């Protein structure tokens, strides 16, 4: 497949954080037995982590571009470095030989403040069907934790875990991804040499293989070409990244006319 090259490390867009490679488990693969209980943010829910850390050894942890920005801010690294040092395959956090997450210290997460969304909401899985958000509860890993009775809700849990901003950030990127896909018509598919690829494959793989889902590298390129100040916080960076991706697609489509 003929595509433009890039020196950026590759990162991919996990378009659905609950659908990952079937051969290895990611949070969300397993749900409470039988019919999935569909929870909303108002549903009663609470969970008390017992710090057994087994969930940090049993699952592959997918990392979205927004998670990358949060990780970069926490680790004081560019997202390029986060990808290079901490993402094994461009999509998941690197794991040690024993299967544990590289950020797992003896009994706790070494990057608690910057942990990815799926870690924040565990043991919940977040789903969106026909625009409606709902949550599933994963089958608990034995002895990993207990659910405690209380009058708390899913929303309370999300706030407690600092997940609300991460969900907004991940949604921002998923919306952007959908917008880009809508604009990629047959001509653009041909332009990028992926005539046989589906539009969805182009939107996900084409952009990621060009390194454009590395937010900091793409933002740096965009800001220097436009001679504008670099964005400061994570959400400003995400917005600037979106502008850069839209501009990139404009250029690709412009070459067709």
* Interatomic CA distance for residues 84 and 59, integer angstroms: 20
CB of 148: closest distance to ligand SF4 in angstroms? 20
* 119 part of the interface to ligand SF4, by CB under 6 A: yes
Is residue 103 involved in binding ligand SF4 (CB under 6 A)?
A: yes
Long-range pairs for 169-172: beta carbons < 8 A, 24 or more residues apart: 169/64, 169/66, 169/67, 169/69, 169/70, 169/234, 169/235, 169/238, 170/17, 170/64, 170/66, 170/67, 170/117, 172/66, 172/235, 172/238, 172/242
- Determine if 109 is a binding residue for ligand SF4 (CB under 6 A): yes
Say whether residue 222 binds ligand SF4 (CB under 6 A). Answer: no
Query: What span, in angstroms and rounded, lies between the C-alpha atoms of 68 and 65?
Result: 5
CA–CA gap between residue 150 and residue 8 (Å, rounded): 48
* Distance of closest approach, residue 166 Cβ to ligand SF4, in angstroms: 12
What residues have CB less than 8 Å from 207, skipping those under 6 apart? 13, 180, 213, 245, 248
Dihedral (C-alpha) 114, 156, 125, 40: value to the nearest 10 degrees? -150
Could you tell me how many residues of this chain bind ligand SF4 (CB under 6 A)? 10
Which residue among 12, 86, 92, 115 contacts ligand SF4 (CB under 6 A)? 115
Per CB under 6 A, the list member of 69, 87, 91, 111 interacting with ligand SF4 is: 111
Q: Which of residues 15-74 bind ligand SF4 (CB under 6 A)?
A: 56, 61
91 binds ligand SF4 (CB under 6 A): no
State which residue, 103 or 172, has the beta carbon closest to ligand SF4: 103
> What is residue 62's DSSP assignment?
B
- Of the two residues 111 and 158, which places its CB atom closer to ligand SF4 in the complex? 111
CA distance 155 to 159: 6
Least distance to ligand SF4, CB of residue 8, Å: 23
Q: Tell me if 143 sits within 8 A of 49, measured CB to CB.
A: no
Q: How far is the CB of 87 from ligand SF4 (least distance, A)?
A: 12
- The span from the CA of 198 to the CA of 189, in Å, is 8
Residue 104 interacting with ligand SF4 (CB under 6 A): yes
Answer yes or no whether residue 86 interacts with ligand SF4 by CB under 6 A. Answer: no
| Region of 62-70, 108-116, 136-144, 179-187 interacting with ligand SF4 (CB under 6 A) | 108-116
Nearer to ligand SF4, 31 or 93 (CB): 93
Which residues here bind ligand SF4, judged by CB under 6 A?
Answer: 56, 61, 93, 101, 103-104, 109, 111, 115, 119
């Amino acid at each position: 497949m003929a595509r433009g090259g890039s020196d950026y490390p590759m990162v991919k867009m996990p378009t659905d954080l609950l659908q990952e490679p079937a051969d290895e488990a990611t949070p969300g693969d397993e749900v409470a037995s039988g019919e999935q209980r569909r929870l909303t943010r108002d549903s009663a829910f609470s969970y008390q982590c017992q710090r057994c850390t087994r969930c940090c050894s049993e699952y592959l942890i997918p990392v979205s571009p927004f998670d990358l920005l949060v990780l970069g801010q926490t680790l004081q690294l560019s997202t390029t470095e986060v990808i290079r040092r901490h993402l094994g395959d461009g999509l998941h956090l690197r794991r040690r030989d024993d299967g544990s997450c590289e950020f797992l210290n003896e009994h706790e997460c070494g990057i608690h403040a910057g942990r990815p969304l799926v870690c924040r909401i565990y043991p919940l899985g977040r789903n969106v069907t026909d625009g409606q958000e709902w949550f599933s509860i994963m089958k608990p890993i034995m002895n990993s934790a207990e659910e405690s009775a209380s009058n708390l809700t899913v929303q309370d849990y999300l706030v407690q875990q600092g997940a609300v901003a991460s969900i907004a950030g991940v949604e921002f990127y998923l919306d952007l991804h959908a917008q880009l896909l809508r604009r990629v018509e047959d001509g653009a598919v041909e332009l990028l040499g992926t005539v046989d690829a589906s539009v969805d494959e182009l939107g996900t793989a084409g952009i990621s293989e060009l390194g454009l889902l590395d937010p900091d590298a793409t933002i740096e390129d965009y800001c220097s070409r436009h001679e504008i100040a670099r964005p400061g916080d994570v959400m400003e960076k995400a917005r600037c990244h979106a502008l850069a991706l839209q501009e990139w697609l404009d250029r690709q489509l412009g070459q067709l006319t």
